[in-house]
A = this chain, B = another copy of it.
Amino acid sequence: MRPSIVLFGDSITEESFGEGGWGAYLANHYSRSADVVLRGYSGYNTRWAALVARRAISSVSPSAVAAVTVLFGANDASLPDRASAFQHVPLPEYQDNLRAICAVLRARWPSAAIILVTPPPVDERVRVRYPCLGDASGLPERTNEAAGRYARACMEVARQAGFRAIDLWSRMQMFPGWETSFLRDGLHLTPLGNRLLFEEVVFALRDANLSLEALPADLPLCSDIDRDNAVDCFQFQQQ
C-alpha cells in the first residue's frame, strides 16, 4: 500500500505546489513511494480550520496516511486592531483549536505522524506595502513579535501532545537576510524559503521513519530490471 502524506494548512500550504513550492518538492522527492495530498486553505485561521477539518480530509483515504503536516497561525496572529482583524484568533483559542484539529486528524488516522509547523516570521517593513482593504494607517496588519508568540504557542502544543514540530519562525531567523531570502512579501515564502521548509519536513519525516530510504519503491526501478528477462521482474506483480 503506497502511503500518503497530507499537507493541511493556510496559504503557505495552498500555494505549496506553485513554482519551487515545498509541496511539489515533497511530491517529487517521494515520486515512487508516497502520495502528497494538498489540503491548503488560503486565509484560514485555526478557528475556521477546526470547523472544517473533518470535511477537508473526508476525501483522503483513511487507511494509508502516514503523516500530516499542520501549518496554521500566520492568520491567527493578525493583530486584532488592524486591517486583518477578522482573521485574528486569541492566543489561548489558537492553542485549543490546534489541539482540536489534531484530535480530528488523530481520530481519522490513528497511526499517522502529526507534524506541527509554526507560522514563518514576518517582515513588517514589507507588509506595510501590502495594505489590506484600503487600510491607510501605514501600520502593518501583522508583526514579527506577534507571529513569534503564536510560534512558541504552537511548539508548546506539540511538546505537550508529543507531536513532532518545526519551528519555522525561529529556523528562518537563524539566517542573516531571512527577510528577503525566505519571504517574498514579508509573509509568504520565496523558492528558497520553500526549499528550507521542504528540508525541515523531510527531516521530520525521517525522524518518523518515513525517509526515502525507509519507504519501498512501489514497483521495480528501471535500473533494477534485468535487461535480458525484463518481463520476469513483473510477473509477481500480476494480480
Contact = CB atoms under 8 A, between A and B. Distances in A.
A59 B28 contact: no
Nearest to A43: B222
A54 B23 contact: no
A86 B41 contact: no
A19 to B, nearest CB: 7
B219 A52 contact: yes
A216 to B, nearest CB: 13
B38 A31 contact: yes
Contacts of A219: 41, 52, 55-56
Interface string A54-88: 11101101001000000000000000000000100
Interface stretch (A142-150, A152-160, A202-210, A226-234): A226-234
A218 B51 CA distance: 14
A17 B18 CA distance: 10
B48 A231 contact: yes
A15 B28 contact: yes
- 5 smallest CB-CB distances across A and B, nearest first, come from A43-B222, A24-B24, A51-B234, A17-B28, A17-B27
